Amino acid sequence: MAQKKKIVIEDENEKSTQSAVPEDEEPKAPAEKTEPAENTLKELEEKLDEALAKADDYQDRMLRMAAELENVRKRASREMEDVRKYATENLIRQLLTVVDNLERAIASAAPENQNDKGVVDGVALTLAEITKILERHHVKPIEAMGEPFDPAFHQAMSQEERSDHPTNTVVQEYQKGYLIHDRLLRPAMVVVSKNSQNGQPNEKAVDTQA
């Protein structure tokens, strides 16, 4: 009886061995569906075109931003230069009042009065020193006498009929005008000539209200 049982066990082991999957073989995965190669190439080309378009857009934006930054830098540099050039503008404008008074004092002094000569010389010396300071700050007077009237630099206070000057010529200066660098600091206050025709003012005479 024992011998028959052993034979049965061996048969069962043989069946188990035959039905087992070999260790060096793996189960095959189900075949996947693949798209045609030409469709894949078309998709790649589309993606490449899209990437190139984005790259061009980014480059264009970068160039525009760089240009804007350069403009900002230049504008800031000009503003800083203007601040440096015209920082003393208000102070100098107030100092011009002192210059006017010194010039009036010299002009009103009687030349024949020897008692005033020393005072006049002292005032003239002070005026000369102030003039040097103004020159160092690039302040210069505006040429007015005998020049054609220019509303950009002259302020007409009145008109005067004159036959010895062309129409719209500055014939008198009430107050000097000044420039600081190339900017108007103060206009010259002047009298402008006009000619009359048959007793009527010339239509081309300057408007003193300008």
Element (H, E) at 133: helix 117-136
Same domain (yes/no): 123, 187: no
Same domain (yes/no): 146, 208: yes
Same domain (yes/no): 115, 149: no
Whether 1 is in a domain gets the answer: no
Q: How confident is the model over 94-103, as a mean pLDDT?
A: 94
Same domain (yes/no): 118, 86: yes
Largest Cα span, the chain: 169
Q: Where do the H-state alpha helices sit in the chain?
A: 2-19, 37-85, 89-108, 117-136
Whether 111 is in a domain gets the answer: yes
Whether 36 is in a domain gets the answer: no
Least reliable range by pLDDT among 8-12, 58-62, 109-113: 8-12
pLDDT of residue 30: 54
Q: How confident is the model over 157-176, as a mean pLDDT?
A: 92
Whether 58 is in a domain gets the answer: no
Task: Report the CATH number that the domain containing residue 75 is assigned in CATH.
Answer: 3.90.20.20
Q: How many domains does the chain have?
A: 2
pLDDT of residue 118: 81
pLDDT of residue 9: 45
Whether 53 is in a domain gets the answer: no
Same domain (yes/no): 170, 207: yes
Task: Report the CATH number that the domain containing residue 193 is assigned in CATH.
Answer: 2.30.22.10
Which residues contact residue 70 at a Cβ distance below 8 angstroms, ignoring those fewer than 6 apart? none
Same domain (yes/no): 125, 151: no
Q: Which of 117, 137, 157 is the last residue of a domain?
A: 137
pLDDT above 90 for 42: no
Q: Which of 137, 172, 197 is the last residue of a domain?
A: 137
pLDDT of residue 176: 94
Same domain (yes/no): 112, 153: no
Whether 52 is in a domain gets the answer: no
**Domain range enclosing 78:** 67-137
Whether 14 is in a domain gets the answer: no
Check: CB of residue 145 under 8 Å from CB of residue 179. Answer: no
pLDDT of residue 22: 52
Tell me the β-bridge partners of 155: 189
Same domain (yes/no): 109, 156: no
pTM of the predicted structure, to 2 decimals = 0.60
pLDDT above 60 for 127: yes
Q: Which of 78, 109, 137 is the last residue of a domain?
A: 137
